[in-house]
Structure 1
Amino acid sequence: MQIKDFVVDQNLKELTKHRTVVLPIACYETTIDQNIHGYILLHWHDEIQFVLIVKGEAIFQINEEKLVVREGDGLFINSGCLHMAEEKNHSGCVYICLNVSPHFILPQELYTTYVYPYIQATNFPYLYIEANELWGKNILAAIVKINQWIQQKSTYYEIDITVQLTFIWQNLIINGFQLEYNQTEMLKSHRMKQMLNWVHLHFAEEIMLDDIARAGQLSRSECCRYFKRILKTTPLSYVIVYRIQKSLALLQQAESNVTEVAYQVGFNSTSYFIDKFRKSMNMTPLAYKKCRMDDC
């Protein structure tokens, strides 16, 4: 199953249901450039995520760090971490994505000791999984098995999946990470999500830098430092990009027109919207609309 539109709420929390009919997990293949935006939007979720790159290469951002994940390798993304992905060098990147509720990894009696400390650690937002390491090879092979079992739904496949999840987690933690819990880092993450939440609630309105800073209980300069460090952009530039992202779904509606969409997503000038859209999407809003209508 290909998820082409990663829907997030005002807190950037992904709304995709990460579960099968009976299990609190989801496993599916994703072709990055087939997403409605051409890349995977910045988002987060309570589930932990495992990724296996099947084809090409991908650039992932987790919190404020960026890294390239090569074909055949994988990635662990911890619960609650902001992340996004784009393909590298038009490589046609395809990856298997496995999302799992942390509470489903191990029985409750073991959760407190072997899972909870890892999802709370502030120095463990992600882990690169190399196929040439035995523990990494084990994890990646288990992801493939789980993906196959979910598609085939053979007898007792749910039990097979739970066994593999335990195996995955064991291979993840045998590395002996020294976990850290930094209250300052926790507060930074909370404030960043507060500011993004405010932007996503008010994107259609006039937005000033003071408004965004106030949402995170920060000064204007500190607000700018947060966005520069984590998102590599300015607060108001992020607002423009987010407005353009919100315009994509509206432009695909048959009855919509460019001017109406521009005002609906917070631009007070059609020409300014067209200019920013072209720079972001390498085409005009009208060209994008026609392309989507023709399914090109």
Structure 2
Amino acid sequence: MQIKDFMIDQSLKELTDHRTVVLPMACYETTINQNINGYIPLHWHDEIQFVLVIRGAAIFQINEAKTEIREGNGLFINSGCLHMAEDKDQTDCIYICLNVSPQFVLSQELYTTYVYPYIQATNLSYLCLDPKESWARNILDSILKINQLIQKKSAFYEIEVSLQLNLVWQNLIINGFHLEYEQTKILKSHRMKQMLNWIHLHYAEKIMLDDIARAGQLSRSECCRYFKRVLKKSPLSYVIDYRIQQSLILLQQPESNVTDIAYQVGFNSTSYFIDKFRKSMHMTPLTYKKIKMEDD
């Protein structure tokens, strides 16, 4: 299943329903450059995520860290962590994405001891899965099996999926990670999500740096440090990028007008919108619109 434009709410929480008909999970293949943005934008979800790259390579960002994942390798992304992905060197990266509700990983009796402490740990935002390590190879093999099971839907496949998830989690925690719980990290994550949430609610309005800082209960300088650390850009640069993301959706509507869209997404002049759009997308909004109309 290819999700070309998955939905996120104002806080960047993904709205995709990560479940099959009966299981609180989902497993599908994603081609990064087929997303409407050309990359998987920043988002988060309550589910834990496992990734297995089956073609090319991708750069994943998880909270403040970036890591390259190549074909045959994988990644674990913990619940609630901000993350995004982009294709590496135009390799047309495809990866299997397994999203699972933490409560489904193990039985209710085992969840408190063997799952909850791990999804709450502040030093376990992600783990790279290198098949050279036996525990990681076991996880990657199980991801492949789960993907095949969900596609085939043979009799009693749900039971086998559940068994494979048990193996995945056992191999993840068998290394005996030292878990940490830093209140400052929890607070930073919460404030970052608050600021992003505010931007996504108000992106079409006039936005000042003071507004964003206030949403995170931070000073202007500390607000800028948060964005530089996590997103490697200033708060107002992120606002511009987000406005352009929103314009991509509107430009695909047949009756849309570039000038109207510029004002709808918060730009105060058409020329400024076109300039920023060109720098971001390497083409004008009108050219982008024509390409998308031809694709249809």
What TM-score do you get using the length of structure 1 for normalisation?
A: 0.99
Which residues in structure 2 correspond to 1:81-92 (within 5 Å)? 81-92=81-92
Distance 1:278 1:7 in 2: 24
What's the offset of the Cα at 1:84?
0.1
What's the offset of the Cα at 1:111?
0.1
Please, what is the CA RMSD of the aligned residues? 0.6
1:102 aligns with 2:123: no
What TM-score do you get using the length of structure 2 for normalisation?
A: 0.99
What's the counterpart of residue 170 of structure 2? 170
Measured against aligned partners, the alpha-carbon deviations of 1:188-228 in whole angstroms (never above 9, x if no partner) come to 00000000000000000000000000000000000000000
Identity percentage of aligned residues: 76
Measured against aligned partners, the alpha-carbon deviations of 1:145-199 in whole angstroms (never above 9, x if no partner) come to 1001111100000000000000000000011110000000000000000000000
What's the counterpart of residue 262 of structure 2? 262
Which residues in structure 2 correspond to 1:1-296 (within 5 Å)? 1-295=1-295
Contact 1:32-1:39 at 8 Å conserved across structures: yes
User: Which one is further off, 132-141 or 157-166?
Assistant: 132-141
Query: SS state of the match for residue 178, structure 1?
Result: coil
Distance 1:79 1:95 in 2: 19
Query: SS state of the match for residue 42, structure 1?
Result: strand
The runs of 5 or more residues in structure 2 that have no matched partner are: none
Distance 1:31 1:128 in 2: 20
Measured against aligned partners, the alpha-carbon deviations of 1:46-92 in whole angstroms (never above 9, x if no partner) come to 00000000000100000010010111000000000000000100011
Contact 1:58-1:85 at 8 Å conserved across structures: yes
Query: SS state of the match for residue 72, structure 2?
Result: coil
What's the offset of the Cα at 1:7?
1.0
The runs of 5 or more residues in structure 1 that have no matched partner are: none
What's the offset of the Cα at 1:94?
0.4
What's the offset of the Cα at 1:2?
0.6
Q: Which runs of 4+ in 1 moved over 4 A?
A: none
Query: SS state of the match for residue 59, structure 2?
Result: strand
The residue type equivalent to 1:78 in the other structure is N
Contact 1:199-1:212 at 8 Å conserved across structures: yes
The residue type equivalent to 2:172 in the other structure is L
Query: SS state of the match for residue 294, structure 1?
Result: helix
Query: SS state of the match for residue 122, structure 1?
Result: coil
Contact 1:118-1:179 at 8 Å conserved across structures: yes
Distance 1:226 1:183 in 2: 16
Distance 1:167 1:52 in 2: 16
The residue type equivalent to 1:38 in the other structure is G
Contact 1:6-1:41 at 8 Å conserved across structures: no
Query: SS state of the match for residue 14, structure 1?
Result: coil
What's the offset of the Cα at 1:6?
2.0
